[in-house]
Amino acid sequence: MSQPGGPQLPPLPDAVAPEQLQTLAEADLAVVELELRGAERATMGAMAPWDRQLKEVRARLAEIATERRRRERAAHVAQRASVRSQAKAGTMPSLADALAAPDELFDADASLASLKVFLKSGGEVGLGFATRPGTIAFSDGRRQQQAKTWGEARGLAAAGWEPGAAGIPGVRVHLVGSRVERVVAPDEVVLEAGAGA
């Protein structure tokens, strides 16, 4: 069997119907098997160059994937370093400072999920639970309320409510792209000005 213009396949012995196999003597059955084994070896031999090329293609694709991962890691390290330096320089205000600032850093209607938020150490995080992102819990010591927009967060902070739950001060954050969560102090979280504005 061969396809016009394609690689030539080794010849395949004629098929023997199952009913005929039942009537063959042991010696004839051995001949049919030998012919098929020969066709198998010839086919594997014909496939060898294609297998080698396929392995080479896959190896080169793996090298490209490795390079992409290397670039992503380098970009991630550079971003973390940039966040740390901006947080140190004060160009990225902490959440505590932004809530207390006299000027609005973001539009009051801006969703908290739309803000670019980082830990001072440089890692990007999302506000709230990983399964329910984009919220900040505030407490007056007894009650708790969730803010979903920057205006709601500012309003609660202006009314004296503090980020956190009763007895658990702080801001719940989750690592972007994961379910890893933790509660951190509001001054350990920095905001990228202009994001979500």
pLDDT in tens, 108-167: 999 999 999 999 888 889 999 988 899 999 998 888 999 999 999 999 999 999 999 878
Half-sphere exposure of 53 (CA within 13 A, CB side): 5
Provide long-range contacts, Cβ within 8 A and 24+ apart, for 29-36.
none
pLDDT class of 194 with cuts at 50, 70, 90: low
Query: From the centroid of its chain, how far is CA 195?
Result: 22
Candidates 141, 183, 185; CA nearest to 166 is: 141
* Residues 39-78 pLDDT 10s: 999 989 888 999 999 999 999 999 999 999 999 988 877 8
28-37, 90-99, 112-121, 177-186: segment of lowest average pLDDT: 90-99
pLDDT at residue 127, as a whole number: 93
Helix (H) or strand (E) holding 75: helix 26-89
| Side-chain-facing half-sphere of 97: CA atoms under 13 Å | 13
Would you state the pLDDT for residue 82? Answer: 74
- Provide the token pair at 141: 């010591």
Write the burial class of residue 126 (CB in 10 Å: 0-12 exposed, 13-18 middle, 19+ buried): buried
Q: What is the pLDDT of residue 106?
A: 86
- Output the CA torsion 92→187→89→196 (10° steps): 0
**Residue of 168, 172, 169 whose CA lies nearest to 180:** 172
Tokens for 4? 């016009």
Confidence at residue 161, expressed as pLDDT on a 0 to 100 scale: 92
- Distance, CA of 136 to chain centre: 24
The token duo for 194 is 């202009």
| pLDDT surpassing 50 at residue 197 | no
pLDDT of residue 4: 57
Q: Where are the domains of the chain?
A: 18-87, 90-191
pTM score above 0.85: no
Q: Helix or strand or coil: residue 111?
A: strand
pLDDT (0 to 100) of residue 2:
46
